[in-house]
């Protein structure tokens, strides 16, 4: 076999010289024995596999859990549920806002953690609307969580070595790619085993025969010139037959084209476009949408907090006062509100926009009646990344205001989005829940490969939202995942293909 071993990269040469035909070759072994880093190891495997010198013999995906900084803090101080239980057991019944102040926790954390304790039967709200302990000590999942946090200090935890109870407890405190409020980060690693092929064995023999060591120099530096070490060194030959670089002309991104097409279509239907900043505050991102500050309902919008500056300077009036009163006692909306003391400090907390509906909230105070508005908003919300989910995504958000708009009008708009913009042939509408709309509707479409998935939510804004922001007519609202619509329209099977670094995939995509 005629093998041109002189053009092999030093990483390939050293690996081939190091392994034998019957041996199992893994990344862990090569990194440890040849002192390669992970990138060098993977590159060598890729090159040698492409040349037919290595062949993959097995592949295994292992799920690992790594303790985050937030998890280390919880291991030291205790989880919110543990801290609440310990505090109310020692100090007696406490109001939730008082617990947030005493324990220095966010009201949303207090609400979510107390909900866990209440559901498990360790605490309840007494007649005075205060949290009260119901047992002497915690047990079950709460103890398992503490044990997992303790074990996490020693390094990564392997899912395969965990009991079913531990897996169930871990599922509630671990998230992929980590999160600002996640004790554990989920890591999925592929463990691949390779073996040397007969061609690889021939290449190894040719390397040894040619006395190539992998230590040959490929670069002339000022250091080797000044020291004279180049005189005793061996150099890699130039690859005179290497192909020249491709010249690739620029093209429009197909997803960018699709977003512009959606905007053009909505504008042609008489909608006006709105937009807003990526960094928002809790007021517009949740409070103005009648989402209570302390309630676990906020968990559906797991936001990314801005580290600096933590708070915005001020919230516009009279909207701040009217929304605060609506939360506290319903103001003049006909509602009783949420019956808690509105936190004017929390509402100024800065976050990355977690939903496009924040643009609709901003638009209501200045909207014309009747009126039609839309926006294409980039949003950021922790989610496990897969074929239909991303940690940052686009939504098409819109509102229609008028005396005569109703649920039938909304269904017609949803039908247009599902069939004309997404291109779905099978569509269904199901009841949903959102804190700011009543009734609420989810629209689902059927993808030829992925099956049924939710396109987004919609509904009619509650009076607690519209009246507090100066509107006294029905307002239809929707927030649909335009990334998911693009899956259908562009003929894709995975959201990640919209943002792939593989330029060839982008160039071949339909619509470019």
Do 134 and 265 belong together in one domain? no
Mean pLDDT of the region 88-94: 89
How far is the C-alpha of 384 from the C-alpha of 188, rounded, in Å?
A: 12
Do 489 and 345 belong together in one domain? yes
319 lies in a domain? yes
User: Packing angle between helix 38-51 and helix 10-18, nearest 10 degrees?
Assistant: 80
Domain stops at, among 139, 174, 193: 139
Contact indicator for 303, 287 with CB cutoff of 8 Å = no
| Residue appearing with tokens 């200090």 | 153
Do 450 and 315 belong together in one domain? yes
CATH of the domain at 73: 1.10.10.10
- How many Cα atoms occupy the beta-carbon half-sphere of 407 within 13 Å? 8
Do 416 and 289 belong together in one domain? yes
502 lies in a domain? yes
133 lies in a domain? yes
- Joined together, the tokens standing for residue 81 give 């549920």
Do 479 and 350 belong together in one domain? yes
Q: Is pLDDT of 301 > 70?
A: no
Do 269 and 403 belong together in one domain? yes
**216-272 residue pLDDT tens:** 777 788 888 888 888 877 777 776 776 677 777 777 788 888 889 999 989 998 999
Domain stops at, among 85, 120, 139: 139
- What's the confidence (pLDDT) of residue 107? 78
43 lies in a domain? no
pTM for the predicted model, two decimal places: 0.57
CA distances in angstroms from 332 to 325, 328, 463, listed in the order given: 9, 11, 9
How far is the C-alpha of 421 from the C-alpha of 2, rounded, in Å?
A: 57
Q: Is pLDDT of 185 > 50?
A: yes
Q: Is pLDDT of 359 > 90?
A: yes
**306-352 residue pLDDT tens:** 888 999 999 999 999 999 999 999 999 999 999 889 999 999 999 99
449 lies in a domain? yes
336 lies in a domain? yes
pLDDT: which is higher, 381 or 401: 401
**Terminus-to-terminus CA distance in the chain, angstroms?**
44
User: Which range of residues forms the domain containing residue 504?
Assistant: 256-508
C-alpha dihedral, 152 to 155 to 161 to 166, nearest 10°: 10
How far is the C-alpha of 397 from the C-alpha of 315, rounded, in Å?
A: 23
Question: Per the structure, how many domains does the chain have?
Answer: 2
CATH of the domain at 401: 3.30.930.10
How far is the C-alpha of 382 from the C-alpha of 396, rounded, in Å?
A: 19
Q: Is pLDDT of 277 > 70?
A: yes
Domain stops at, among 139, 168, 200: 139
Do 130 and 262 belong together in one domain? no
Do 295 and 440 belong together in one domain? yes
**499-511 residue pLDDT tens:** 776 666 666 554 4
Do 333 and 468 belong together in one domain? yes
485 lies in a domain? yes
Q: E strands within 207-343? A: 272-273, 279-281
**365-380 residue pLDDT tens:** 999 999 999 999 888 8
Mean pLDDT of the region 473-496: 87
């Amino acid at each position: 076999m005629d093998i041109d071993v002189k053009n092999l990269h030093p990483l390939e040469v050293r690996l081939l010289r190091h392994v034998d035909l019957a041996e199992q070759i893994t990344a862990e072994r090569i990194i440890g024995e040849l002192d390669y880093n992970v990138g060098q190891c993977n590159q060598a495997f890729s090159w040698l596999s492409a040349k037919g010198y290595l062949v993959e013999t097995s592949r295994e995906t292992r799920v690992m859990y790594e303790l985050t900084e937030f998890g280390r803090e919880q291991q030291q101080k205790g989880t919110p549920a543990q801290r609440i239980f310990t505090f109310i057991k020692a100090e007696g019944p406490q109001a939730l806002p008082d617990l947030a102040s005493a324990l220095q926790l966010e009201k949303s954390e207090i609400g979510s953690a107390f909900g866990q304790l209440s559901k498990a039967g360790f605490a309840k709200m007494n007649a005075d609307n205060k949290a009260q302990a119901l047992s002497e000590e915690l047990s079950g999942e709460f103890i398992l969580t503490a044990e997992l946090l303790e074990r996490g200090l020693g390094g990564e935890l392997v899912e395969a070595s965990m009991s079913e109870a531990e897996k169930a407890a871990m599922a509630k405190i671990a998230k992929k790619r980590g999160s600002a409020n996640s004790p554990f980060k989920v890591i999925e690693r592929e463990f691949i085993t390779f073996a040397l092929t007969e061609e690889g064995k021939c290449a190894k023999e040719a390397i040894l025969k040619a006395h190539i060591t992998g230590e040959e120099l490929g670069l002339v530096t000022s250091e080797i010139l000044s020291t004279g070490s180049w005189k005793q060194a061996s150099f890699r030959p130039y690859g005179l037959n290497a192909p020249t670089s491709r010249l690739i002309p620029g093209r429009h991104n197909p997803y960018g084209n699709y977003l512009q097409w959606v905007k053009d279509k909505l504008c042609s239907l008489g909608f006006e476009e709105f937009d807003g900043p990526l960094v928002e505050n809790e007021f517009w991102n949740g409070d103005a949408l009648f989402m209570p500050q302390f309630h676990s309902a906020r968990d559906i919008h797991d936001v990314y907090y801005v580290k600096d500056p933590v708070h915005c300077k001020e919230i516009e009036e009279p909207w701040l006062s009217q929304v605060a009163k609506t939360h506290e006692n319903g103001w003049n909306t006909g509602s009783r509100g949420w019956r808690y003391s509105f936190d004017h400090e929390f509402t100024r907390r800065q976050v990355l926009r977690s939903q496009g509906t924040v643009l609709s909230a901003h638009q209501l105070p200045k909207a014309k009646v009747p009126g039609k508005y839309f926006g294409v908003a980039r949003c950021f919300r922790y989610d496990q990344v897969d074929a239909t989910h991303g940690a940052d995504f686009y939504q098409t958000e819109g509102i229609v205001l008028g005396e005569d708009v109703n649920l039938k009008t909304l269904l017609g708009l949803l039908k247009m989005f599902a069939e004309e913009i997404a291109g779905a042939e099978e569509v269904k509408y199901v009841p949903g829940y959102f804190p700011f709309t009543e009734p609420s509707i989810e629209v689902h479409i059927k993808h030829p490969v992925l099956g049924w998935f939710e396109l987004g939510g919609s509904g009619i804004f509650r009076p607690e939202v519209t009246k507090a922001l100066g509107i006294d007519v029905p307002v239809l609202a929707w927030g649909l995942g335009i990334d998911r619509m693009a899956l259908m329209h562009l003929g894709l099977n995975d959201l990640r293909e919209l943002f792939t670094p593989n330029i060839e995939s982008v160039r071949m995509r339909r619509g470019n």
